[in-house]
Structure 1
């Protein structure tokens, strides 16, 4: 086998890798490529063998102290040859001394531990049809509010992701963000993202369970009865319990792991924006 070339990924190649993610059953959004890539264009990597992409990974630097690893895929034809692991090590160099987070499938947890990652919890995906229920205090987000919404998410997750949310929270044909405003400005919000199959809600940030439930039903009203998926991290039991009350199933879970100190999460209830960028 020719020695793989480890290099940065182009935006066009990211579109191909997102298609790989769809083939793996990860169900990416219809409009993920641009906000992913623009968060950190230097944070996407491929291993190239004889002119073909053999493996891919992202290590996106959100802040001087935090990065997130995702999109770790090796093409089936190249698995078992050490190509993916070589790319893994190459890409982690991009994070420097930053803490690196990831959401990994549980059966790979021991492999991640060997690279210095420590389990900090799990993320459960809840999936099913949610009754749409518009709410008088829920309205579309305004572009001028996006920095404040990003700050709300940072207070909840413990990590600022300003560059990512600049694109992610802006409305497109495939993504809509709604805010909960009882007359004093946004106190919570949720983004609905159309995917290859159904919709995903993320992020969702709310001060209390009732606000979270109102936002969940309000964004579900935009889906016309299609399936909805919500990725709920550990520590958000009220939101997870409510998803189960609604009859949503848990098709899979991921282990949330960190290499370096884990961020301190806030008191808000939340759902994860995307398992690829945190």
Structure 2
């Protein structure tokens, strides 16, 4: 396909809102303030394909550092699918991340296509859906994350991701319509979690903790900030049986799953302490 009306460029900030809207139409249920947080991670990491002046395709290629990037928001408007426009945008995104290990969370039926582009399956992520409300546990140690020095949080978070994501984390923990909590044990941070309002209900993520008991305390404390009528979602790595058990213990059911894949070495992450993924779109 060679259409000289088709061009690809970096998105402006307001165009990221369009990607969010398309994601909502695809049923991905983005958070109300995801655009601001994602844009903070890499303002040059959003690409748009235009046919004339009409936006017809989006892709995010967040460059966290010189070695790792994450790909998401690969969406082509339905009436333009199958015509090569998305593939051109995909190639432009891969070029932007040239020399980087690239991660993505792809829908399961696209795994084979991603394999053809050099991606390897690491594990499945499972989205669980339940209901909100409940009481926060009376466990000593639950603290407002904002009460801790950011450096303490950044040091705790660093092993859980293949690259430094401090720019994203600063925005993520302080977003409107969200809540961020930590849990202390022996005078040190032993876990943290964030819950944010989405188009439909709330999502918990990330949820990181040094033990299943601490993860459960954080989860319940975060969920207590919602109403019993609110849907609550938790995206867990299927390879962490304790995370699966946490979701199932609290009556959550599977609603979706993705394939976490990498185009390069599969990072050695402490998945046994990762109970909830921050975002399928940027990791």
Deviation at 1:44, TM superposition (A): 0.5
Counterpart-to-counterpart distance in 1, 2:115 and 2:57: 21
Q: Which runs of 5+ in 1 are unaligned?
A: none
Matches within 5 A, 1:1-278: 2-130=4-132, 132-135=134-137, 136=139, 137-142=141-146, 144-170=148-174, 172-182=175-185, 184-225=187-228, 226-266=230-270, 267-278=272-283
Q: Which runs of 5+ in 2 are unaligned?
A: none
Deviation at 1:148, TM superposition (A): 2.4
Counterpart-to-counterpart distance in 2, 1:39 and 1:156: 16
CA contact (8 A) 2:127 2:257 kept: yes
Counterpart-to-counterpart distance in 2, 1:268 and 1:148: 17
Deviation at 1:143, TM superposition (A): 6.0
CA contact (8 A) 2:71 2:281 kept: yes
Deviation at 1:2, TM superposition (A): 4.8
CA contact (8 A) 1:147 1:162 kept: no
Residues 63-104 of structure 1, C-alpha deviations (whole Å, 9 max, x = no match) = 221100001100112111110111000011111211000000
**Residues 22 and 64 of structure 1, relative CA distance in 2, 3 Å threshold:** same
CA contact (8 A) 1:59 1:95 kept: yes
Counterpart-to-counterpart distance in 1, 2:219 and 2:74: 30
User: Structure 1 residues 199-208 or 146-155, which shifts more?
Assistant: 146-155
Q: Secondary structure at the match of 1:63?
A: coil
TM-score norm. by structure 2 comes to: 0.93
Deviation at 1:36, TM superposition (A): 0.6
Deviation at 1:218, TM superposition (A): 0.4
Q: Secondary structure at the match of 1:6?
A: strand
TM-score norm. by structure 1 comes to: 0.95
Counterpart-to-counterpart distance in 2, 1:153 and 1:233: 17
Deviation at 1:145, TM superposition (A): 2.8
Q: Secondary structure at the match of 2:86?
A: helix
